[in-house]
Amino acid sequence: MAALDDVKLQQSHTWSLGDYSSIGSRLSVVSEQLCETADLRAPWTVLDLATGPGTTALAAARRGCRVTGVDISEVLLERARARAAAEGLQVTFAHEDAENLPYDAGTFDAVMSTFGIGFTPSPEDVAREAMRVLRPGGRLALTHWAPGGANHAEAEVLARFSEPGPPSPWESESGIRALFGDGVQDLVVTEREVVYRFDSIGHFVDTAMTLFGPFMRLVESLSVEHRARLRSELVAALGPFNRSGDDSMVMPVPYLEATASRR
């Protein structure tokens, strides 16, 4: 693996904090849906970018594909390897940078990612590398959080406690089309939702603040008073999106699913 710059080293450390798999494992339904939309089949070679704990890589492997998952966090990769071993699935997990992949052009029949690539510093570099390693006619299948609903409410709260980043091109169909340009055909972007289910909204927020790396990094930077305010404001902001009708949390969260073929 090429040496990571300071920004990516910080990202690697952030995603290695806590236990992202405690939240990421709840997104299995997204990975399964993405594999179905992409119409994966054996014995395709599949690359899962920013694989994290390997949820999408494992979903592809269950369909008989030969899968490689890459991530900049070795901690998350170790969790992915353990999950694959527990299921008896053969998946190669490699410590690699999605913006600078070591694979030859046209190596893979499908390139996928579930939410991960949206956190990389350079969307243009990720898109370029994804297209380079994908064979002509190969399948591109990606998801990213949509900017509305509970995501918007959460982002508004976080913006009061940290410096918000620039708008992400992964958050809209026009942005995704601009990233891949004429390199793809039959691009379809669909808005879907995944439902988070927790004991309560407070339980969800506490889980994020104590186990989700990016939230943990923010919490570390705040005083005790501001941590309490952050928790209180998140619980209040997410409340209107809870459809459980009781104290438990049943909260739909919108995301975009994009599939295309490489020209």
The pLDDT of residue 21: 82
- Find residue 67's DSSP bridge partners: 46, 91
The pLDDT of residue 185: 97
- Is a pLDDT exceeding 60 seen at residue 2? no
For the segment 29-79, what is each residue's pLDDT rounded down to a tens digit? 999 999 999 999 999 999 999 999 999 999 999 999 999 999 999 999 999
What architecture is domain 6-147+165-196+253-262?
3-Layer(aba) Sandwich (3.40)
For residue 43, say if its preceding peptide bond is cis, omega within 30 degrees of 0.
yes
For the segment 143-201, what is each residue's pLDDT rounded down to a tens digit? 999 999 999 999 999 999 999 888 999 999 999 999 999 999 999 999 999 999 999 99
Query: What does the pLDDT average to over 85-96?
Result: 97
Query: Is 209 or 25 the better-scoring residue by pLDDT?
Result: 209
Number of neighbours of residue 239 by Cβ within 10 angstroms: 12
For the segment 219-238, what is each residue's pLDDT rounded down to a tens digit? 999 999 999 999 999 999 99
Do 143 and 30 contact (CB within 8 A), yes or no?
yes
The tokens of 131 are what?
Answer: 């297209």
Q: Pick the closest to residue 61 from 33, 42, 76, 75 (CA basis).
A: 42
- Is a pLDDT exceeding 90 seen at residue 96? yes
**Domain spans in the chain, listed from the N-terminal domain onward:** 6-147+165-196+253-262
The pLDDT of residue 245: 97
pTM for this prediction? 0.95
